[in-house]
Structure 1
Amino acid sequence: MIIYTYPVRTAFTDRDLEMIQPEMKIKALEFTQSPAALPFYFILQFIQLLWFAPKTSQYLCFFGGYHSILPVWFGKVFGKKCSIQAGGTDCINMPEIGYGNFRKKWLRKATVYSFKNCSLILPVAQALVKQDYRYDPSISPKQGLLNLIPDLKTPIKVIANGFDTDFWKDLDQKRQPKSFISVATGTSNPARARVKGYDLIEQLAANHPDWSFTLAGDATYTSPNPNVKIIGKQAASQLRELYNSHEFYLQLSTSEGFPNALGEAMACGCVPIGSAVGAIPEIIGSEELILNHKNYLELEKLLLKLTEAKLLIIRQNTRQKIHSIFPFSGRKNKLLEVLKS
């Protein structure tokens, strides 16, 4: 049995369980993101891991951090494999915007211990291994595991996310012109909103009152602009409808690993506009749709030069790109191969 631990349940973790459960027995153990609750969860997790130890064949963690310390330790003590899927914040040090595990002393220690002592690291993007970050000039360019842990010797294998394009698809519905959507959770926290690029989106909304914007994922986020619609977390079927009713998807993150929502929206026919961070340029695959620097004027120029003819061609290519390069089966096969080896 695989013990699968993560700090909070997300679309990423649900998708991994969907991939693994039909092939291998797996038990999910959610941890916590609350600092105040850490002592209780360490005790609870220790008891859980000890209880399941006789049946456990290996450990799998999503992200490195506090929740991965004990699975890594149990793996070393009992001689069982422990793999960590690096997802983004666990490979980043951006104190300038309040983001990344490495900006906090004890979380950094937990993350470094986990990555140094696990059996295998499985990042969702090559940029999380090592990157020369240039998007926001106020942030240190040295990001990624090999820059932040120079003596890291643990084997690393990149496995990108994959998408079910039988579900995430263009429904050929009418889309409102100049309609934009972005999906992120926790954005009622101003630091999180900045990480997800909402500051740039709000500038766009303020300067283009005739354009419409939908920000989904956190119902408590507030916008000063009347043309910005705020909605909470959505089910997959609701997200598919939202993607199909909007013309553009905005992924203007200051930092990112491999954003699921971007791939989903592209599979549904949205024209993607993304920042030059993480796997975003790789997913979008077209330089004319990438914002290379965190600069509002550059963003506006990028959008205004996209003609209707160009948008039509982009929409025709977008779904096929996700279908051919990032299929659900691709990640599933690679992940299962690692877990079964």
Structure 2
Amino acid sequence: MSQKKVMLVYSLKNTFVLKDIALLDQMGYNVVTIQSAPNRDLFRFTWNRIKEFIQGFFLVAKSEVVFSWFNDYHSVVPFFLAKCFNKKRILIVGGYDAISSPKLDYGIFLKNNFRQFLARWNYANANEIWVVHKSLAQGCPNAKQQDGTLSGIQNFIQGLKPLIREVPTAYDDRFWKKNGDRNKKGIITVANISDQRTFRRKGIPLFLKLAEELPDYQFTICGIQNPISNKQILPKNITLYGKLNRDALKIQYGYHQFYFQASHIEGLPNVLCEAMLCECIPLGTNVFGIPDVIGDTGHIFNASDSLKTVISFIRSLGNPQKLGEKARQRIAKHYSISKREMAFKEVLSTNAHEK
């Protein structure tokens, strides 16, 4: 008997995309994909849309459901074809696609242009919208107060008909676990940093400031491009790494006592969850999904305030091992693979499609 097909479209091959492909495959589905890397070049942009139509025409008709990771140009053609073939359309929202931040020059709703028009069409024509955290549907008041960042699909589009569900990303607690000795004065942050906008959005300036305030601690940044050329502008107690594979990243998490997530905008940070599974004690800003991930297992702070409370928490911590174990248990309980699998099963077992 042939496997049922599902389609997943995306722009970048991020970890969470690969995890969903693997999960659907493990569930017994034949996952067909269309990747359209973001391009500003007119020729490549146009070619992406042509490719999406040609591939999509043959693949959508044979697929049970079309999933799109993030709402952008790459979603439009597959969703249009899925609508024509009366196939279910699920839009997975991760952050950028529910934001308008003039200060950080970020978000699909920032500019009233054709791109936003298409994003609105995608939202209106999805059967379901999955947000990785509820703040991407309802908005984040703290982000608005601190940076003037507007957020929440429902705040940008009133009366949206598709069902909006909170479906968090999931993490493998069998893989992500602590191994080896731990540096009790080690603090790490991980982000794919390719430009100054991402550098600021991920809160790296605050991480550098913390390193200056704690010269007797060792700080590590993983994921920064051109780490050697950036070394000259950093405090001496910071070590830089480029992009690491998951095995190398697990070693880094296991070596550091604390994980620092100072993002100004973030849906549900994958790296924070991975680090907590490796028993890192989380330090994070009070915006979007970060406080819900951390709960009572670490320290939550306001990025616009001083770092005094963060420093006080780090220096006064009495039983880091117990708190690290508690952090691991929290992620294993609330962000398990089985919960995401349940959401996939639910949508794939429902045969009712709406045009």
- Distance in 2 (alpha carbons) for counterparts of 1:76 and 1:252: 40
Query: Which blocks of at least 5 consecutive residues in structure 2 are unaligned?
Result: 351-355
Given that residues 216 and 233 in structure 1 are in contact (C-alpha distance below 8 angstroms), is that contact kept between their aligned partners in structure 2? Answer: yes
Q: Name the SS for the 2:221 alignment partner.
A: strand
- Distance in 2 (alpha carbons) for counterparts of 1:213 and 1:85: 33
**What is aligned with 2:117?**
109
- Distance in 2 (alpha carbons) for counterparts of 1:259 and 1:101: 19
Using the TM superposition, give the Cα deviation of residue 243 of structure 1 relative to its aligned residue in structure 2, in angstroms: 0.3
Q: How many residues align?
A: 337
Letter in 1 for 2:160: L
Letter in 2 for 1:43: I
**What is aligned with 1:231?**
241
**What is aligned with 2:223?**
217
Over residues 243-275 of structure 1, what are the superposed CA-to-partner deviations in whole Å (9 max), with x where a residue is unaligned?
Answer: 000111111100110111111100001000111
Given that residues 98 and 136 in structure 2 are in contact (C-alpha distance below 8 angstroms), is that contact kept between their aligned partners in structure 1? Answer: yes
**What is aligned with 2:20?**
16
Given that residues 219 and 239 in structure 2 are in contact (C-alpha distance below 8 angstroms), is that contact kept between their aligned partners in structure 1? Answer: yes
Using the TM superposition, give the Cα deviation of residue 328 of structure 1 relative to its aligned residue in structure 2, in angstroms: 1.6
1:178 and 2:188 matched: no
- Distance in 1 (alpha carbons) for counterparts of 2:62 and 2:144: 47
1:290 and 2:294 matched: no
1:272 and 2:282 matched: yes
Query: Could you tell me the TM-score, scaled by structure 1's length?
Result: 0.93
Using the TM superposition, give the Cα deviation of residue 210 of structure 1 relative to its aligned residue in structure 2, in angstroms: 2.3
How large is the RMSD of aligned CA atoms in angstroms? 1.8
> In structure 2, do the counterparts of structure 1 residues 53 and 137 end up closer, same or farther at CA, with 3 Å as the change threshold?
closer
Using the TM superposition, give the Cα deviation of residue 136 of structure 1 relative to its aligned residue in structure 2, in angstroms: 6.2
- Distance in 2 (alpha carbons) for counterparts of 1:106 and 1:290: 38
Q: 2:6 aligns with which of 2, 5, 12?
A: 2
Q: 2:199 aligns with which of 193, 198, 211?
A: 193
1:256 and 2:270 matched: no
> In structure 2, do the counterparts of structure 1 residues 135 and 211 end up closer, same or farther at CA, with 3 Å as the change threshold?
farther
**What is aligned with 2:81?**
74
Over residues 29-53 of structure 1, what are the superposed CA-to-partner deviations in whole Å (9 max), with x where a residue is unaligned?
Answer: 1111222132111111111101324
**What is aligned with 1:91?**
98
Using the TM superposition, give the Cα deviation of residue 95 of structure 1 relative to its aligned residue in structure 2, in angstroms: 1.9
Q: Name the SS for the 1:265 alignment partner.
A: helix
Using the TM superposition, give the Cα deviation of residue 60 of structure 1 relative to its aligned residue in structure 2, in angstroms: 0.6
Letter in 1 for 2:296: S
- Distance in 2 (alpha carbons) for counterparts of 1:267 and 1:54: 40
> In structure 2, do the counterparts of structure 1 residues 288 and 217 end up closer, same or farther at CA, with 3 Å as the change threshold?
closer
**What is aligned with 2:176?**
168
Given that residues 131 and 141 in structure 1 are in contact (C-alpha distance below 8 angstroms), is that contact kept between their aligned partners in structure 2? Answer: no
**What is aligned with 2:40?**
35
Q: Name the SS for the 1:179 alignment partner.
A: strand
- Distance in 2 (alpha carbons) for counterparts of 1:280 and 1:325: 13
Given that residues 7 and 60 in structure 2 are in contact (C-alpha distance below 8 angstroms), is that contact kept between their aligned partners in structure 1? Answer: no
Farther off after superposition, 323-332 or 249-258: 323-332
- Distance in 2 (alpha carbons) for counterparts of 1:153 and 1:106: 22
Q: Name the SS for the 1:109 alignment partner.
A: helix
Using the TM superposition, give the Cα deviation of residue 310 of structure 1 relative to its aligned residue in structure 2, in angstroms: 4.3
- Distance in 1 (alpha carbons) for counterparts of 2:39 and 2:126: 24
Using the TM superposition, give the Cα deviation of residue 163 of structure 1 relative to its aligned residue in structure 2, in angstroms: 1.2
Farther off after superposition, 160-169 or 102-111: 102-111
Farther off after superposition, 95-104 or 258-267: 95-104
Given that residues 131 and 144 in structure 1 are in contact (C-alpha distance below 8 angstroms), is that contact kept between their aligned partners in structure 2? Answer: yes
1:144 and 2:152 matched: yes
Over residues 296-319 of structure 1, what are the superposed CA-to-partner deviations in whole Å (9 max), with x where a residue is unaligned?
Answer: 51x332232342314333112111
Using the TM superposition, give the Cα deviation of residue 334 of structure 1 relative to its aligned residue in structure 2, in angstroms: 1.8
Q: Name the SS for the 1:26 alignment partner.
A: strand
Query: Could you tell me the TM-score, scaled by structure 2's length?
Result: 0.90
Letter in 1 for 2:153: L
**What is aligned with 1:119?**
127
> In structure 2, do the counterparts of structure 1 residues 102 and 130 end up closer, same or farther at CA, with 3 Å as the change threshold?
same
- Distance in 1 (alpha carbons) for counterparts of 2:188 and 2:144: 22
Q: Name the SS for the 2:266 alignment partner.
A: coil
- Distance in 2 (alpha carbons) for counterparts of 1:83 and 1:215: 34
Using the TM superposition, give the Cα deviation of residue 141 of structure 1 relative to its aligned residue in structure 2, in angstroms: 5.4
Letter in 2 for 1:188: S
Q: 2:52 aligns with which of 45, 48, 53?
A: 45
Given that residues 135 and 275 in structure 1 are in contact (C-alpha distance below 8 angstroms), is that contact kept between their aligned partners in structure 2? Answer: no
Runs of 4+ in structure 1 off by over 4 angstroms are none
- Distance in 2 (alpha carbons) for counterparts of 1:269 and 1:205: 21
Query: Which blocks of at least 5 consecutive residues in structure 1 are unaligned?
Result: none
